[in-house]
Amino acid sequence: MKKKELAVAALENGTVIDHIPSSSLFKVVNLLQLEKLTGSVTIGNNLDSNRLGKKGIIKIADVEFPEDVINRIAVIAPHAVINIIHDYEVVKKHEVQLPDELNNIVRCNNPKCISNNEPMPTRFHVENRDPIVLRCHHCERTVAQSEIQLK
């Protein structure tokens, strides 16, 4: 049993994204466009977690993401932890950090917002981090954490 678990878990080089809320796991997969990767990607969900109750985890072999890319997931998984693995060792570990501004990641919830009616990128300012409150740069409406929809 122990051996089998290790076979899935072991990662020689790459990125492990841990502490993803189970409800956000597949959104993270979409946001990072993991379906386009050709290397090995291991996805686990509904694992027991002391912090979250149930959590998701993603292991991506041989890929490291630029900070600005990986930090985008903070909008749906604000306490996700990024582990960088080199030669089976964790060489870097940090919680994702929500950037001050989100460009073309989140959809505006206001149907009368220009960004929902014109082919254009969205732009949001982070007004509060915990809980997350975003403000649409264009229509100036706020979006609460529970209302966040990805583009």
Q: Could you list the residues that contact another protein (CB under 8 A)? A: 108, 110, 112-115, 117-120, 136-142
Question: What is the maximum alpha-carbon separation in the chain?
Answer: 55
3-class DSSP state for residue 111?
coil
Of 42-50, 64-72, 89-97, 139-147: span binding Zn ion (CB under 5 A) = 139-147
Distance from C-alpha of 73 to C-alpha of 136, rounded to nearest angstrom:
18
Taking the complex as a whole, the smallest distance from the CB of residue 142 to Zn ion amounts, in Å, to: 10
Asked if 108 touches Zn ion (CB under 5 A), the answer is yes
Of 24-32, 48-56, 70-78, 132-140: span binding Zn ion (CB under 5 A) = 132-140
Contact criterion met (CB below 8 Å) for 121 and 112: no
Q: Which is nearer to another protein, 79 or 138 (CB)?
A: 138
Distance from C-alpha of 85 to C-alpha of 93, rounded to nearest angstrom:
9
Asked if 133 touches Zn ion (CB under 5 A), the answer is no
Q: Which residues contact 91 (CB under 8 A, 6 or more apart)?
A: 84, 85
Give the count of residues interacting with Zn ion (CB under 5 A).
Answer: 6
Distance from C-alpha of 88 to C-alpha of 33, rounded to nearest angstrom:
24
Asked if 113 touches Zn ion (CB under 5 A), the answer is yes
Using CB under 5 A as the criterion, which residues of the chain lie in contact with Zn ion when the complex forms?
108, 110, 113, 136, 138-139
